[in-house]
Amino acid sequence: MEIAARIAEGFIGMFQKGGTTFVGLVTGIIPLLIVLMTAVNALVRLIGPERIDKVAMISSRNVFLRYLILPFLAVFFLTNPMAYTMGRFLPEKQKPAFYDAAVSFVHPILGLFPHANPGEIFVWAGIAAGITKLGLGLGDLAIRYFLVGLLVIFIRGLVTERITAIMWARRSVSEGQGQSEESTSAAGAASPVETGGAALAGGEEA
């Protein structure tokens, strides 16, 4: 009987702990997210979507801007998952690299700007909980996480762009070979017809 009672207490205690965590979120991170999202949306309206798009177009011309500034602007202003639509200003060969950079930045930005990816705030919250229990501040960790994230997305952007260029070149070569084979086979199929036509013409002249 005591064992059953302890199991019941543990079962209920698990949900009580979850309720306590939920209350902490309601009084802590959720209001912060709402205020941040409202502020960013208001900022976008004040600046104007067309101006943000213009900055994105300018950023796409330089490799540093393309894989540092553009992913940051996309994730900060448009948030996840709308951030990836910023890639529409890039050539087709650079879109995979931009996506790789942007999708890799939706977590490092959470420490400073949690509104950018509220659906996965638990990733940062889990890290922050351990740091807080150790009595350490979160500001230094958030800045380091952010800076390392910028470095990582820049490297990933360069590497993915290079890989895409190699695959694109192979695709062009294979397509060229396929077209030449089709031309050769078409010429071979046309040769008997032309030969037969010439023979008939010769017979008529005779």
Q: What is the pLDDT of residues 87-123, one digit of tens each?
A: 887 888 889 999 999 999 998 998 888 888 887 887 7
pLDDT in tens, 22-77: 676 666 666 766 776 777 777 777 877 778 777 777 877 788 989 998 899 889 88
* Structural domain includes residue 130: yes
Q: Looking at the domain assignment, is residue 129 inside a domain?
A: yes
Helix, strand, coil: what percent of the chain each, to 5?
A: 90, 0, 10
What is the domain range of residue 58?
A: 48-175
The one-letter amino acid at 9: E
Determine, yes or no, domain membership for 191.
Answer: no
Whether 62 is covered by a domain: the verdict is yes
Query: Which residue, 99, 94, 39, is CA-closest to 74?
Result: 99
In a domain, 196, yes or no: no
In a domain, 57, yes or no: yes
Domain tally for the chain?
1
In a domain, 18, yes or no: no
Compute the distance between CA of residue 46 and CA of residue 118 in angstroms, rounded to an integer.
Answer: 23
Give a yes or no: residue 22 inside a domain: no
